[in-house]
Amino acid sequence: MGNNEPLLSLKNVSKEFYGNVVLQDVSFDLHEGEILGLVGENGAGKTTLMRILFGMPVIAETGGFKGSICLDGQEVHFSTPFEALDAGIGMVHQEFSLIPGFTTAENIVLNRESMHPSLLNDVFGDRMSILDRPAIKKRAVGAIEKLGVKLDPGMLVSEMPVGHKQFTEIAREISRDKSRILVLDEPTAVLTESEAEVLLESLRRLAKEGVAIIFISHRLQEVVEVADRVVVLRDGLAVKDVPAKGLTIKDSASWMVGRSMAGDAAGAREVRKFDEEILSVEHLWVDMPGETVRDVSASVRKGEIFGIGGLAGQGKLGIPNGIMGLYPAGGKVKLHGRDIALNAPAKALKSGMSFVSEDRRGVGLLLDESLDWNIAFTAMQIHGQYLRPILGGIFTQRDEKGMESLCKEYIELLDIKCTSSRQKAKELSGGNQQKICLAKAFAMRPDLLFVSEPTRGIDVGAKKLVLDTLRKYNREYGTTIVMISSELEELRSICDRIAIIDEGKIAGILPPTADVADFGILMAGIGASEAAAAMAGQEANNA
Amino acid sequence: MSAKKFTKFLSEYAVVIIFVVATVACIGPSRLSVTYIVQEIITRLGRNSFLVISLLLPIFAGMGLNFGMTLGAMAGQIGLIFAVDWGVAGWQGLVFALLVGLPISVLLGWVCGSVMNRAKGREMVTGYILAFFINGIYQFFVLYMLGSVIPMRNPSILLSRGYGIRNTLNLESVRQSLDNIVMARIGPFAVPVVTFAVIALLCIFVVWFKRTKLGQDMRAVGQDMGVADAAGIPVERTRIIAIIISTMFACAGQIIFLQNMGNLATYNAHDQTGFFAVAAILVGGASVTHASIANVFIGVVLLHAMFIVSPLAGQNLFGSAMIGEYFRQFIGYGVIALSLVLYAWKSRKAASDARSLIRTGGSPAANGKGGKE
């Protein structure tokens, strides 16, 4: 630090995707040897910002960006990530980018191997050169030492513990000749606490040697601990750019999630009481790629709307998908006190649960079929409704009339905009498709309804209608609803209780009236007990 | 613990073990002398090894078993047809055939590799069907073009109608010309030294190739295309090169195979080239993703030992040589099916093992306690 000339500076960077603004006038500087913490909810624009910095082709394909990026005071334009790498910017992605059957050393020098030329070089080019194994090992060991961790250069990646993989990735980035800026995207997400400790320590070491680091993490604790400066992104705006010293987790958490809460619905709502347990989940794990659930136990009361929130990739979507049998799962799930067989969607549906999937077009709808088909389909398959026996029940035939009247009923009830009940599902807009999905679930007359990301990808007016429909359905039929959503405000507006999922576990359960900052703290990857302590402290302050 | 290791050993080498047991069981009923069996195996090692080695590179590159090697075999056959037509005899005839066949196999390999790049993850079935397609072109070329559009000098190899090649081509002029350059006698056995030297050279090439930058890239591409691509390795190009080299080797391999056989069934000699080579490497303990030079030789020895003894064992036990012939087919396809099933089973098991790890990440959470009502 101390250098007044910034190494990297972003000036008024803006980006929109098809009229949708995801970044607006974001500016910040990064100095040599500085660690910058970058925090924000999903959708805040972190990923897009990094894509711009790296010249990912997707940015140019969607119309480029506004503003400028300067390196050493010179404006730069990267058109591929390789140009960014050549300029000395290294990135460690959330997913490992390692070859499993290669050793640590081979991975560190991947595609930058030291080589001896061979006889065939003149004819077939450089790729016929022989690898210089001793030199490769020497370079790898050099990078590992610079990082200050213990890694065996000869170990296969497939046999490594997860922490070593992360270190291997970082070693690869810093082994480049000119590596000056290192971007780490959620580097500690997969690490144990002690491994994360070691990682933070080696980041500090690197910073002392002059490497500038952008540290992206949702674990605010770590950010505050390791960073020199913290930039908070929210809805595409850099809302804060402050020194980390003296920063509290609570402040950063509320900056991260806090929105102006005009017309707060949460404040003006009744507090309902529920007694009977309808669903109990014990030690549930779900292997859903990108949304792994590790160990979730919870209890849902009959008649309530139970919200599940949390950042993307933490496992909230895995919970309904696992319980409904769409992804391999284990643990104990009981509905009305009876065990539900996992990994068997038909049994889950028969037991009285229904699921409106977040994957509307993939799982939710038969896109090429008509609306009445779509709405009646699951009820027909599971309960044998809308089928007419013929020849004394040897065959059954679809009850077209029954289906049509069912469809008409829901078109009216949910105000679905369509030409007729025979229209194809793919021709509807996103919001109306979502209503069809809801109608399909309602037609099952479920005791318990899972609704996953019900308002994703639909416009504001339709959002309100979908939420109102859910609330109305809950009140009128007493259906218990478990709603999973990335949008905290949405959860707070209709749920009776909200669980926040972090790293595949429940970080805590809060009433919708709780302070936004408390939700932020739970999302920020602090252990549940610490979160409770932080909240207690904050309450004491308030008093 | 040792029981677990034993199970792992069994699942790893299931195919090899089944083969050793079946072959040994057949030796007795076949009433063949061990000397005869060993001599036959030596001959067939020389005849087939080169073809089987041509499968190695695509496996390194993660493209599975290259059924598309049949394309190379066809190129080799065209080379031999021209060698006979031009009357180039002896080992020079083989070199001539190679010079004609290699450019064709480079072209076919490039076509095959490009098609496979558009069918990533389904390379094996793509190669298999592509071989049928190119077979059609080969038939057209040999049956109609040769002798009509392309003039042939030697009318005796043409069909009596004046164009198209005869069903069976006598390769007398080049017959065993590679094997017979130096035929050493070791005890009771005749060993074609030069053929084995050529195979040894090829093995050295494969070992050397694995140490080159291109070989390293090929392994990287084979294990994870996405990662290789992100590291700047030209993935598609590397995959095409693997298939081109494989096709070229198959061309040379088919020439070696046919010079040993001494005649060429013009229209179906290549039909089962890919099938037998794939069966051999799988019998040798290779899988869709892993193979080594040792797998090649173990496989050729075991598969052909089985082929030598099973017809006679069938005849002596059941009174019909057809039973043994039937066995040959049954075993060949059975081995391929078994290997593919075992491979799928192992991948699924690995996935579920990985799944059990996700639950042990960290201590059980004190869930729900953080919230206050």
Note the pLDDT tens digit of each residue in A400-450: 888 888 888 888 888 888 888 888 888 887 788 888 898 888 888 889 999
> Measured between alpha carbons, how far is A223 from A152 in angstroms, rounded to an integer?
29
pTM of the predicted structure, to 2 decimals: 0.81
Note the pLDDT tens digit of each residue in A125-167: 888 889 999 999 999 999 999 888 888 999 999 888 888 888 9
Note the pLDDT tens digit of each residue in B305-351: 988 888 888 888 888 777 777 777 787 788 788 888 888 888 888 77
Question: Among all residues of chain A, which has the CA nearest to that of B213?
Answer: A127
Pairing of strands A329-335, A338-339: antiparallel
Residues of B in contact with A101 (CB under 8 A): 219, 223
Residues of A in contact with B217 (CB under 8 A): 111, 127
pLDDT band at B266 (very low <50, low <70, confident <90, very high): very high
Question: Among all residues of chain A, which has the CA nearest to that of B60?
Answer: A101
Q: Output b/e per residue, A137-152; b: 16+ Cβ within 10 A.
A: bebbbebbebbebebe
pLDDT band at A267 (very low <50, low <70, confident <90, very high): very low
Q: How far is CA B155 from CA A114, A514, B77, B88, B158, in A?
A: 57, 96, 18, 15, 5
Locate B39 and state its tokens.
């001599």
Question: At a CB cut-off of 8 Å and minimum separation 6, what does B240 contact?
Answer: B109, B110, B113, B114, B117
Closest alpha carbon to A425 in A465, A358, A374: A374
With 60 as the cut, is the pLDDT of residue A540 above it? no
Across the A:B interface, residue pairs with CB atoms under 8 Å apart total 124
What is the crossing angle of helices A162-174 and A193-208, to 10°?
10
Q: What is the pLDDT averaged over residues A489-509?
A: 89
In the predicted model, what is the mean pLDDT of chain B? 88
Q: What angle do CA A120, A126, A129 make, to 5 degrees?
A: 65
Locate B93 and state its tokens.
């005839």
Residue carrying structure tokens 């009229």: A19
> Measured between alpha carbons, how far is A266 from B163 in angstroms, rounded to an integer?
89
pLDDT band at A268 (very low <50, low <70, confident <90, very high): very low
> Measured between alpha carbons, how far is A325 from A277 in angstroms, rounded to an integer?
21
pLDDT band at A264 (very low <50, low <70, confident <90, very high): very low
What is the predicted pLDDT for the residue at A259? 57
Please report, in angstroms and rounded to a whole number, the separation of the first and last CA atoms in chain B: 50
What is the predicted pLDDT for the residue at A531? 53
> Measured between alpha carbons, how far is B336 from A7 in angstroms, rounded to an integer?
59
Note the pLDDT tens digit of each residue in A313-331: 888 999 999 999 999 888 9
Give the A window 146-175 contacts with B, CB below 8 Å: none
What is the predicted pLDDT for the residue at B371? 32
Q: What angle do CA B96, B98, B103 make, to 5 degrees?
A: 115
Closest CB to A110 among B220, B226, B367: B220
**How much of chain B exceeds pLDDT 90, in percent?**
61
With 80 as the cut, is the pLDDT of residue A537 above it? no
Contact A294 B352 (CB under 8 A): no
Highest mean pLDDT: which range of A82-86, B118-122, B361-365: B118-122
Closest alpha carbon to A103 in B109, B220, B191, B319: B220
* List of domains in chain A: 27-247 (3.40.50.300), 275-352+447-543 (3.40.50.300), 359-445 (no CATH)
Q: What is the pLDDT averaged over residues B264-273?
A: 91
DSSP annotation of B212 reads B
With 50 as the cut, is the pLDDT of residue A263 above it? no
Contact B213 A101 (CB under 8 A): no
Q: What is the pLDDT averaged over residues A68-81?
A: 88
Quickly list DSSP for B35-51. Answer: HHHHHHHHHHHHHHHHH
The residues that bridge with A103 in the sheet, in sequence order, are: A156
In the predicted model, what is the mean pLDDT of chain A? 84
Question: 3-state SS of A37-92?
Answer: EEECCCCCCHHHHHHHHCCCHHHHHCCCCEEEEEECCEECCCCCHHHHHHCCEEEE
pLDDT band at A1 (very low <50, low <70, confident <90, very high): very low
Locate B317 and state its tokens.
């036990």
With 90 as the cut, is the pLDDT of residue B265 above it? yes
What is the predicted pLDDT for the residue at B206? 95
With 50 as the cut, is the pLDDT of residue A483 above it? yes
Residue carrying structure tokens 């290192």: A182
Task: Please give the single-letter amino acid code of residue B308.
Answer: I
Max Cα–Cα distance, chain A, nearest Å: 89
Residue count (chain A): 543
DSSP annotation of A176 reads S
Closest CB to B370 among A101, A497, A522: A522
Question: Among all residues of chain B, which has the CA nearest to that of A117?
Answer: B212
**Contact at 8 Å (CB) between B81 and B157?**
yes
**Burial, A85: exposed, middle or buried (Cβ in 10 Å; 0-12, 13-18, 19+)?**
buried
Q: What is the pLDDT averaged over residues A340-356?
A: 89
Contact B227 A97 (CB under 8 A): yes
Note the pLDDT tens digit of each residue in B3-39: 778 887 877 787 888 888 888 888 888 889 999 999 9
What is the crossing angle of helices A430-442 and A371-383, to 10°?
30
Locate B52 and state its tokens.
């089987």
Element (H, E) at B21: helix B14-30
Q: What is the pLDDT averaged over residues B153-182?
A: 91
Q: What angle do CA A354, A356, A362 make, to 5 degrees?
A: 125
Q: What is the pLDDT averaged over residues B191-196?
A: 94
Closest alpha carbon to A212 in A159, A251, A174: A174
B225: closest CA of chain A, how far (Å): 9
pLDDT band at B358 (very low <50, low <70, confident <90, very high): low
Question: Among all residues of chain B, which has the CA nearest to that of A496?
Answer: B373
Full strand arrangement of the beta sheet holding A74-75: A20-30, A8-17, A66-71, A74-75
Assign residue A378 a region: left if phi > 0, alpha if psi is -120 to 50, beta otherwise? Answer: alpha
Centroid of chain to Cα A137: 37
**Contact at 8 Å (CB) between B59 and B65?**
yes
Residues of B in contact with A111 (CB under 8 A): 217, 220, 228, 231-233
With 90 as the cut, is the pLDDT of residue B242 above it? yes
Centroid of chain to Cα A201: 27
pLDDT band at B245 (very low <50, low <70, confident <90, very high): very high
Three-state DSSP state, A274: coil
Residue B232 contacts A where some CB pair is shorter than 8 Å: yes
pLDDT band at B359 (very low <50, low <70, confident <90, very high): low
> Measured between alpha carbons, how far is A156 from A99 in angstroms, rounded to an integer?
9
A290: closest CA of chain B, how far (Å): 12
Question: 3-state SS of A103-159?
Answer: EHHHHHCCCCCCEECCCCHHHHCHHHCEECHHHHHHHHHHHHHHHCCCCCCCCEHHH
Residues of B in contact with A531 (CB under 8 A): 370
Closest CB to B371 among A101, A131, A509: A509
B54: closest CA of chain A, how far (Å): 19
pLDDT band at A529 (very low <50, low <70, confident <90, very high): low
* List of domains in chain B: 8-346 (1.10.3470)
What is the predicted pLDDT for the residue at A158? 86
Give the A window 344-403 contacts with B, CB below 8 Å: none
